[in-house]
Amino acid sequence: MTAGRLAAKMRKIREDHEDEEMENGELNLVPYLDIVTNVIMFLMMTTTFAAALADINVSAPTVGAGGPGPADQVKQDLNLTLQISDKGFTIAASGAVLYENDVPGRVPTIPKKGGDYDYAALTRKMGDIKKQFEDETKVIINANPDITYEVVVAAMDAARNDGSKTLFNDVTLAAGVN
């Protein structure tokens, strides 16, 4: 056998071996890794978006040397809540004690008058509360599910201003209860 024939024979064996290796060779993982990377990025973005939808505003406690002294008392929020039910309005506050006509144990209520809500009495009562707590601007309105939208809006207007001055301009709507 000559050197040329030997080289041709070796080339033929090498080509056959490469063809077999290509047919039975390893799987190309690069396209699959690209797909997996894209899926991971998509999942991370949607998880971040879903977490942003479920934000809850929380104030973390502050770290300090001690509690406030008598000279620097911390102002507590009033958390004024106006409950609208089919019987009328009920006003409550968690940051202070509100009494009906200064009678302990009775919360301020404004019953319906002749089957209609008494918005003028609500405005007067909110004005009285504003005189006691001049710095307060927030009110939370909580209505039962059977209360119509028009009643909620009218109560909101009655709590916001009395015609001459603004009472509680930061209105928050809360979920209704049965």
Q: Could you tell me which of 64, 83, 46, 88 has the C-alpha nearest to residue 173? A: 83
Tokens in use for 14? 């090498």
Where do we find the tokens 């939208």?
A: 149
- Comparing CA positions, the residue from 168, 177, 178 lying closest to residue 93 is 168
Task: Return the closest-CA partner of residue 174 out of 108, 81, 98, 102.
Answer: 81
Residue 46: other Cβ atoms inside 10 A? 10
pLDDT (0 to 100) of residue 78: 74
Please report, in tens digits, the pLDDT of each residue of the chain (178 residues total): 788 888 888 888 888 777 666 666 677 788 899 999 999 998 887 776 655 555 545 455 566 555 555 544 556 677 888 888 888 988 888 766 676 656 565 677 888 888 899 888 888 888 888 888 888 888 888 888 888 888 888 888 888 877 788 888 888 887 654 4
Domain boundaries, the chain: 3-53, 80-174
User: Encoding tokens for residue 87?
Assistant: 């019987």
Give dist(CA 1, CA 37) in Å, integer.
55
Q: What angle separates helix 119-132 from helix 149-160, to the nearest 10 degrees?
A: 40
- Three-state DSSP state, 172: strand
Rg (CA), the chain: 37
User: Is residue 171 within 8 Å of 156, Cβ to Cβ?
Assistant: yes
Q: What is the pLDDT of residue 27?
A: 76
Sheet holding 80-85, edge to edge: 109-111, 88-93, 80-85, 138-143, 170-174
Separation of alpha carbons 90 and 110, rounded Å:
6
